[in-house]
């Protein structure tokens, strides 16, 4: 009998996101989208007028921010509705309309930065002294003038803004293909019974199945479908990379890596430090892979064995119990912090947790000022799901506290710091549970999730994908072509080096792994997962060791938003990611987990 996944309309509302808190209905949403488009002239009227004085500038900034946040709220509503059910054609249409609206808003506001540059830094500083309400933009203006040489004329900026919508279509096309259109052949268990394969269960129940036949056939089914469409998927990703290179050249940067990191004032050394430290520590990973092979009793270990359970029995953790464990682990953060999490997860419906047909794979936290920090995931009552929930709640608390403490201009934070908050929750949870849980199977499952789940994704897959991303961008920059086969070969080579000689590599299927990570459509994002987990363990270590002011420093980081450069915000909290030290420290934490695992298994 096949394992079934519920259709969306059969899911208990209790475990769905609170869409009605954003808009009462799709009809209300549509009216707002139309109104946002109708209100675009209310910001366009300031074009060419910012030099009139501080009062006019303040009015314009206020009007632009209010329109953008309205557009963002509407975009979140449509995007989330699509993510929880990619087969819903109405939601897909809403997402398309919202994307078009968003592009129009950004094109309409493109005059802002060129005009501010035209006014000049000295004049703006004088105006900020005259009008204290304008002074809040001090860091924003400073950052703009730092980027001055890469800001183009108002006309060029408008065109670049207008390109945002059509270029977004590349990732949307891939998402529609793999999430809505792909139908996977069923897997089979060791008795030959069919097991349904979906985007919602492949990375959870199937890859974590104790039945190796299920893991193998599910992995082969999943990757073979991607291989069937390898040319389309490769063309989409190649086009996205070309768009990145186009933007790099349009803004006159030397290369795409420098262009991406320049926006956040992050030196390229941070990227290269990570890659070099990762390669140096590959023997730590090889030790873990060999331990996993022995525990599973396999002659050869493969990619699809990386998530196989090594605890003797499955640990069942219902959603509500997971919330309890997470809040207990975060008690050092204070009652207000944990009460907010309890209210969000159990009452205000921040989390769309139930698996359903058509649900996008993976998990994410998303929202905008004026909404809850929503979470999309497929919770499956296991340690891994509990960890994913803790992770996404880290993102959500980061958003919640930023929105609560920052003005609109700083009410966001960069991808570079985002993964610190999420991994911090997981590090705190493990620190607490490894001390308080006595059940040996639970501890084994917890460490397996830490090393084989979280660390494997953030500290192995993501650095490997970062190397892939760097090389593919450099090939486009050199004028070389990217084909499906060349991308598969590159990915297979990088994973072969990473896994080492004792892991059997199915080159075509493992080489196609890049097509399963939508993150690659976000320019140079994947490396930040590894720097993020490093920063998280450095900061959680301070709190777990009871260092003075560690909690206050961390809460200050969460409340900072984008009010300072990412590296500065983290330095104030107690971690310096310009140094390889946090990465080395995190590999040491991982080794300590492997030591503990060997002890428990013996």
Active site residues: 392
Buried b (16+ CB within 10 A) or exposed e, 493-520: bbbeebbeeebebbeebbbbbbbbbbbb
Cα(68)–Cα(487) distance, integer angstroms: 37
At residue 26, the 3 state secondary structure works out as: helix
Cα(389)–Cα(395) distance, integer angstroms: 10
The answer to whether 390 touches 238, Cβ cutoff 8 Å, is no
Cα(51)–Cα(164) distance, integer angstroms: 27
Instruction: Tokens for 55, please give them.
Output: 């009062």
Distances (CA, A) of 215 to 35, 192, 418, 453: 50, 13, 31, 15
Q: How many helices (H) and strands (E) does the chain have?
A: 26, 7
Strand order in the sheet with 364-366: 351-352, 374-376, 364-366
Cα(122)–Cα(398) distance, integer angstroms: 34
Cα(99)–Cα(78) distance, integer angstroms: 9
At residue 368, the 3 state secondary structure works out as: coil
Which has the closest alpha carbon to 128: 194, 62, 57?
A: 57
Residue with tokens 């860091």: 139
Region for 310 from its dihedrals, namely left if φ exceeds 0, alpha if ψ lies in -120 to 50, beta otherwise? alpha
Burial of 20 (0-12, 13-18, 19+ CB in 10 A): exposed
Q: Which helix (H) or strand (E) holds 44?
A: helix 41-44
Cα(237)–Cα(594) distance, integer angstroms: 36
At residue 194, the 3 state secondary structure works out as: strand
Distances (CA, A) of 59 to 43, 56, 86: 9, 5, 40
Cα(33)–Cα(97) distance, integer angstroms: 8
What is the distance, to the nearest Å, from the Cα of residue 530 to the centroid of all Cα atoms in its chain?
12
Provide CB contacts within 8 A for 61, sequence distance 6+.
112, 137, 409
In 3-state terms the chain splits into helix, strand, coil percentages (rounded to 5) of 70, 5, 25
How large is the C-alpha radius of gyration of the chain?
24
The answer to whether 125 touches 144, Cβ cutoff 8 Å, is no
Distances (CA, A) of 474 to 190, 257, 262, 290, 535: 45, 9, 17, 34, 28
Region for 311 from its dihedrals, namely left if φ exceeds 0, alpha if ψ lies in -120 to 50, beta otherwise? beta
Cα(208)–Cα(211) distance, integer angstroms: 9
């Amino acid at each position: 009998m096949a394992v079934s996944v519920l259709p969306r309309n059969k899911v208990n509302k209790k475990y769905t996101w609170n869409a009605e808190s954003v808009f009462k209905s799709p009809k209300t949403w549509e009216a707002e989208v139309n109104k946002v488009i109708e209100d675009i002239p209310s910001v366009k009227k300031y074009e060419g007028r910012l030099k009139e004085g501080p009062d006019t500038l303040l009015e314009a900034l206020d009007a632009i921010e209010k329109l953008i946040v309205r557009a963002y709220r509407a975009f979140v509503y449509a995007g989330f509705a699509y993510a929880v059910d990619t087969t819903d054609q109405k939601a897909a249409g809403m997402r398309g309309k919202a994307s078009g609206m968003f592009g129009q808003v950004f094109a309409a506001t493109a005059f802002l930065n060129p005009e501010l540059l035209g006014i000049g830094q000295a004049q703006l500083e004088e105006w900020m002294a005259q009008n204290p309400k304008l002074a809040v933009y001090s860091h924003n203006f400073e950052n703009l003038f730092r980027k001055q040489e890469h800001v183009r004329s108002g006309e060029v900026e408008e065109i670049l803004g207008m390109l945002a919508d059509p270029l977004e279509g590349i990732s949307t096309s891939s998402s529609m293909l793999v999430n809505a259109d792909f139908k996977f052949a069923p897997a089979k268990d060791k008795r030959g019974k069919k097991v349904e394969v979906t985007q919602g269960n492949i990375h959870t129940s199937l890859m974590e199945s104790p039945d190796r036949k299920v893991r193998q056939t599910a992995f082969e089914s999943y990757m073979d479908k991607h291989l069937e469409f390898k040319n389309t998927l490769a063309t989409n990703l190649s086009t996205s990379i070309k768009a990145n290179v186009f933007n790099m050249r349009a803004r006159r940067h030397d290369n795409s890596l420098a262009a991406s990191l320049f926006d956040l004032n992050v030196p390229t050394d941070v990227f290269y430090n990570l890659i070099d430290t990762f390669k140096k520590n590959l023997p730590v990973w090889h030790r873990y892979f060999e331990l996993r092979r022995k525990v599973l009793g396999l002659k050869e270990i493969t990619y699809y064995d990386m998530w196989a359970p090594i605890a003797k029995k499955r640990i069942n953790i219902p959603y509500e119990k997971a919330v309890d464990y997470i809040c207990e682990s975060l008690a050092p953060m204070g009652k207000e912090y944990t009460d907010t999490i309890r209210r969000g997860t159990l009452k205000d419906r921040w989390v769309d947790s139930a698996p359903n047909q058509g649900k996008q794979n993976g998990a994410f936290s998303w929202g905008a000022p004026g909404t809850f920090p929503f979470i999309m995931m497929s919770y499956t009552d296991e340690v891994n799901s509990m960890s994913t929930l803790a992770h996404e709640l880290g993102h959500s608390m980061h958003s919640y506290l930023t929105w609560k403490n920052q003005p609109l201009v700083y009410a966001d934070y960069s991808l570079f710091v985002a993964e610190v908050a999420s991994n911090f929750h997981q590090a705190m949870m493990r620190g607490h549970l490894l001390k308080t849980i006595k059940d040996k199977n639970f501890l084994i499952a917890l460490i397996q999730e830490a090393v084989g789940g979280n660390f494997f994704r953030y500290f192995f897959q993501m650095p490997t994908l970062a190397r892939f991303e760097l090389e593919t961008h450099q090939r486009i920059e050199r004028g070389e072509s990217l084909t499906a086969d060349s991308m598969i070969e590159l990915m297979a080579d990088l994973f072969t080096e990473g896994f080492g000689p004792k892991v059997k590599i199915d080159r075509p299927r493992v080489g196609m792994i890049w097509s399963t990570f939508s993150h690659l459509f976000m320019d140079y994002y994947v490396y930040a997962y590894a720097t993020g987990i490093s920063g998280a363990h450095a900061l959680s270590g301070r709190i777990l060791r009871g260092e003075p002011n560690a909690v206050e420093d961390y809460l200050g980081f969460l409340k900072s938003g984008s009010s300072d450069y990412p590296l500065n915000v983290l330095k104030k909290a107690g971690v310096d990611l310009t140094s390889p030290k946090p990465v080395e420290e995190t590999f040491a934490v991982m080794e300590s987990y492997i030591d503990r695992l060997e002890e428990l298994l013996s």
